[in-house]
Structure 1
Amino acid sequence: MRYMLLFHYAEEARESIGEEAMAAGMRAFASYTATLEQAGVLVSGQVLRPSTNATTLTLVDGEPRIQDGPFADTREQLGGVVIIDVPHLDAALEWARQAPPLSWGSVEIRPGAVHTEAGVWVPS
């Protein structure tokens, strides 16, 4: 079954984090994804650009409204995702426990559905 690990953490400028901490975080992510890959569970991953690059589409009175930036007004933003293919939620939780963003934010685990049958989403 596929699970998406969504990494939420406070956005900070590279300068405020510091080069040493930034490099350590990048090494931690590289090690984590290499471990997922070696275990054969990594489907894909994506680091997201800062939320200031986001565009959000909503409907207001039936009309589309385009808003610069993320929809959520919060200190933490979605910073990246990893999709893994594991047998069950407990396995997904174990991989999420190893995710570097858990040290500075949260990891949301959400099961995926990749297709529909008769209009109903079917788990991957």
Structure 2
Amino acid sequence: MQFIALIYSTPGSEPPHGSPEFDAFMQGYFALTAKLKADGAYLAGEGLKPVQTATSVRLRGGKVETMDGPFAETKEHLGGFYLFNVENLEAAIAYAAMIPSVAWGTVELRPVMEYN
């Protein structure tokens, strides 16, 4: 089964960029990515730029509308994702629990629809 792990956190909750704590935090991500690849579960994963860089797009009445910023205002922001292929939800949860941001944010797991 394919799962996407959507990684949410409150801005400023992670270690400050450029600090030794941030370097250790990022090493956790690099280690998890290496483990997922070694286990044959890794499909994709990336961090996202801040929500201030987002553009939301809609089509209304045949016209394209754009808005600066994310679709929804929320306390926690989507900061990145992993896409992995595992046997079941329990395996997905085990990997999600290894995502460094889970210590202060939230990881939302969602099965990916597979069309035949």
- TM-score relative to the length of structure 1: 0.81
Distance 1:43 1:63 in 2: 35
Distance 1:13 1:89 in 2: 27
Residue 24 of structure 1 aligns with which residue?
24
Shift of 1:58: 2.9
- TM-score relative to the length of structure 2: 0.86
Distance 2:58 2:107 in 1: 25
Consecutive unaligned residues of structure 1, counting only runs of 5 or more, are: 118-124
Q: Which amino acid aligns with 1:75?
A: K
Residue 92 of structure 1 aligns with which residue?
92
- Aligned-residue sequence identity (percent) comes to 32
Distance 1:75 1:22 in 2: 21
Shift of 1:60: 5.3
Q: Output the aligned Cα RMSD.
A: 2.2
Task: Provide, for residues 32-90 of structure 1, a one-character-per-residue CA deviation record: whole Å limited to 9, x for no partner.
Answer: 11111111111111111111111011355664421101111112111001011001111
Could you list the structure 1 runs, at least 4 aligned residues long, displaced by more than 6 angstroms after superposition.
Answer: none
More strand by share: 1
Distance 1:23 1:4 in 2: 25
Q: Which amino acid aligns with 1:73?
A: E
State the SS of the aligned residue for 1:17: coil
